[in-house]
């Protein structure tokens, strides 16, 4: 499918983000057809190391379907070029500190003087104002400050980070949703606006029911390892040959689980006769269940429990997860053609739209810094002489 046929194909996005959270938001727009121009500073040091980084798996997965221009925003000429772009753009995405935004001419008040329909989308560690607004915000710092690490792991491990950059990716997804809401509002009213979120806001929201346990009841959740914090039995249990996850928290599922494990007497045991009692006696119950799951292989448990309506699944490593028959059927890995790396496999958008089937491959791989500078400048109306003069001045690269 050509990018012009996709739902966001009429929109142009200027991507001035660094790190991960902002690029995740922009990736959502790029994957669904938006014309994304990634604006990066001129490379002033060893270009080889920068390019090598850009060609790595992380950068390629973040920046596929985007194009890149190197532009010196600190120079007056660079600022004028940026404003030329802003006049023709729909969305500007950035993650600068407030004072840097102002200095570079990227605050919402400054941008709407150039284009009153522009949508400015900003992402930060702690928010655009407040006592921590100038603090640097990184994923693990926010995992700790949001309370997430306090409910991850168990007593033996102590507070534990999740194995992915969850605050970066979560805030990026929320910002992407905010951009789509702002575009929808502009379609109705013709008005632009400032959309922003932060890693802290996103992670406090992501706590979901663990957060509301505190906000409603002042209950502070604790670590429960691989077991669900409020439902039982639900967790990881040893089999003959490894570990499986089993979730049988309702009365019906619990009774069926006991039957399938060959211990039906526990299904009518008074200690486990209700969800509250199973929760109160969860340590004893978990030990009983594991004593019986050890009599089966993981495959035997998966094959026996799922047809009975009891969720049960393996615990994979990353490779096994992508090679699982269902993941392969869903075609979560999509190729992209890179001029140097060749055909590379990247993870596609998880959103499925019946009117817009996923492409067989990405439109293009992640760009090198400034790979499309001359092409983009020409599209924006600059002639070859102007482009060469600005290159000589170091305004573009």
Q: Which of the residues are catalytic?
A: 168
> What DSSP designation does 359 have?
P
CA-closest candidate to residue 228, choices 169, 278, 262, 273: 278
Alpha helices (runs of H) in the chain, residue ranges in sequence order: 21-31, 47-54, 57-63, 76-88, 98-104, 108-114, 139-145, 166-189, 199-206, 209-217, 251-260, 275-280, 282-293, 298-305, 318-323, 325-330, 373-379, 384-393
Q: Considering only CA atoms, give the Rg of the chain.
A: 26
Query: What are the residues whose beta carbons fall under 8 Å from the beta carbon of 118, sequence distance 6 or more?
Result: 86, 89, 90, 91, 92, 111, 112, 192
Beta bridge partners of 69: 39
Peptide bond into 141 cis (omega under 30): no
Beta bridge partners of 70: 40
Q: Which class for 257: exposed (0-12), middle (13-18), buried (19 or more C-beta within 10 A)?
A: buried
- The DSSP result for 196-208, as a single string, is EEEHHHHHHHHTT
Q: How far is CA 339 from CA 255, 336, 378, in A?
A: 58, 10, 22
Residue 60 in tokens: 């390629």
d(CA 345, CA 334): 6
């Amino acid at each position: 499918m050509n990018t012009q046929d996709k739902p966001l194909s009429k929109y142009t996005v200027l991507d001035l983000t660094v790190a991960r959270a902002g690029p995740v938001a922009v990736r959502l727009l790029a994957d669904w057809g938006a014309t994304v121009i990634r604006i990066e500073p001129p490379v002033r040091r060893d270009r080889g190391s920068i390019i090598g980084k850009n060609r790595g798996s992380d950068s390629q997965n973040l920046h596929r379907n985007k194009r890149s221009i190197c532009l010196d925003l600190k120079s007056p000429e660079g600022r004028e070029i940026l404003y030329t772009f802003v006049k023709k753009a729909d969305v500007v995405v950035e993650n600068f500190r407030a004072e840097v935004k102002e200095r570079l001419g990227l605050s919402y008040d400054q941008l709407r003087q150039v284009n009153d329909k522009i949508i400015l989308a900003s992402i930060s560690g702690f928010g655009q104002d407040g006592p921590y607004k100038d603090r640097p915000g990184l994923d693990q710092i926010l995992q700790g400050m949001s309370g997430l690490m306090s409910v991850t792991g168990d007593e033996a491990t102590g507070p534990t980070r999740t194995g992915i950059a969850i605050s970066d990716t979560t805030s990026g997804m929320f910002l992407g949703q905010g951009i789509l809401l702002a575009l929808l509002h502009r379609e109705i009213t013709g008005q632009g606006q400032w959309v922003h979120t932060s890693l802290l806001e996103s992670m406090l929201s992501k706590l979901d029911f663990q957060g509301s346990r505190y906000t409603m009841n002042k209950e502070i959740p604790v670590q429960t390892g691989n077991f669900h914090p409020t439902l039982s039995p639900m967790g990881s249990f040893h089999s003959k040959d490894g570990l499986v996850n089993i979730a049988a928290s309702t009365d019906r599922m619990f009774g069926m689980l006991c039957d399938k494990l060959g211990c039906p007497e526990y299904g009518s045991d008074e200690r486990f006769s209700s969800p509250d009692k199973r929760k109160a006696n969860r340590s004893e119950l978990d030990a009983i269940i594991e004593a019986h799951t050890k009599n089966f292989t993981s495959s035997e448990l998966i094959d026996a429990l799922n047809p009975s309506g009891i969720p049960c699944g393996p615990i994979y490593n990353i490779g096994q997860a992508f090679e699982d028959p269902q993941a392969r059927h869903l075609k979560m890995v999509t190729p992209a053609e890179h001029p140097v790396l060749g055909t590379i496999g990247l993870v596609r958008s998880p959103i499925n739209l019946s009117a817009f089937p996923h492409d067989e491959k990405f439109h293009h791989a992640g760009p090198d810094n400034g790979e499309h500078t001359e092409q983009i400048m020409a599209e924006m109306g600059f002639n070859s002489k102007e482009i060469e003069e600005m290159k000589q001045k170091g305004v573009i690269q």
